[in-house]
Amino acid sequence: MRKFTNDFMMGAATAAHQVEGNNVSSDFWTMEHIPGTMYKEPSLDAVDHYHKYKEDIQFLVDAGLNTYRFSIEWARIEPSKGNFDQNEIEHYRQVLEFCHQNNVTPIVTLHHFSSPKWLISEGGWESESTIEYFGNYCRYVVSKLGDLIPYICTINEANMGKQIAKIMKRMTSANSKNSSKKEESVDVQVGLNVDMKAKMEQYFSALGEAFGIDPRKVQPFLSPRTENGELIIMKCHEKARNVIKEVNPTIKVGITFSLYDHQALPGGESSVEKEQYEDFLNYLPFLQEDDFLGVQNYSRKIHGPDGVVQPDENTRVTKMGYEFYPEALGNVIRFVAKHWEKPIIVTENGISTDNDADRVEFIERALNGVYQCIEEGIHVIGYTYWSLLDNFEWQLGYAQTFGLIAVDRSTQTRYPKESLSYLGHIKKSGL
């Protein structure tokens, strides 16, 4: 019997815009509704987690889980620049209090992709002013709610802009005509639809009009970044960490990264090293004062002499098109641990599938890897499956099914899956 310790944090994760609904002051809401939108469908009510959070968290509790990672929505807290909404702070206070009442450890993310619309109009994630704006938002949240938050992830997948930039570069390269749909779907873990050439011009024109700025300067978080934009993201993280520690030094502060398990075929070693540096190692200087690191992994990439080798037609893939390879998580944890000696929390790991038996298998194999890492002495202190609920998968809409709980959006009725019970069983009884 392999059993995780009682204090090991195990649960599930969500992101505000993907589950709450009616995030009307956010950049995503704007982008979902413009002419020529790149979104399959708008988020609208989502799965109404904003009103049904108690029911959703109770499902997690009843399964025997003890941790819930969720995000506080900046666009709700500060719907217009400098104007903070006390009612929204009280909403998140109630969410946090409900967690504590049920012995659930909350892990709060302060920015999970979505931003206030006004921030993008002010220059977004390529503007130096965002550093100060983000710091002000963090100060407000922590001054109001910090006594209820033991762990904070400042920014979700801080390296995602770089990963998107790589895809865009590859698409516009001479070889892009040979790239397959499978390559595009495998490359981005958040469900971005990057097949946008035909609609690009119309879309960006509408974006510029919607945000009231030059469309070339519309910079939401999920967009290709310059090197200066990369630096701004990390300065935002440092600013947030400093503010949090100033207001409440007891809070553990970290950040999360999207990390693949990079594996080399003969001749692919240099390609692996390059990707590992770009995805993670070059960020390390900004993380030295952090308390933990959030690791997010869904699959692997195999590298040959010419770069990434795409899966063939016989490869088992998920509904998102990733290779079904739960062992990637343990491999990524081991890689990170070579460069990071502080605690690690698996803040996302999961699978989109319509066959819940596949999800159960994925969870079992992934957590076997986590357990082995702990046995090897790596300081892994938590695991939150992505996601608690089937939700709004950004540009792909509602077709993807990552959740431990299904939702009939016509009635907002919840249907817990066997995988939720299974994850709870692992927490209570072991693997």
Q: Which residues are annotated as catalytic?
A: 157
Phi, psi dihedral angles at 273 (to 5 degrees):
-60, -40
Q: How many CB atoms lie within 10 A of CB 55?
A: 13
> Which residues make Cβ contacts (< 8 Å) with residue 54, sequence separation at least 6?
98
Are 18 and 398 in contact by the 8 Å Cβ rule? The answer is: no
Kindly state the DSSP code that residue 12 receives in the 8-state scheme: E
- 416, amino acid identity: P
d(CA 374, CA 318): 27
Element at 71 (helix H, strand E): strand 67-71
* Three-state secondary-structure class, residue 13: strand
* Three-state secondary-structure class, residue 47: coil
* Three-state secondary-structure class, residue 237: helix
In SS3 terms, 334-372 reads as: HHHHCCCCCCEEEEECCCCCCCHHHHHHHHHHHHHHHHH
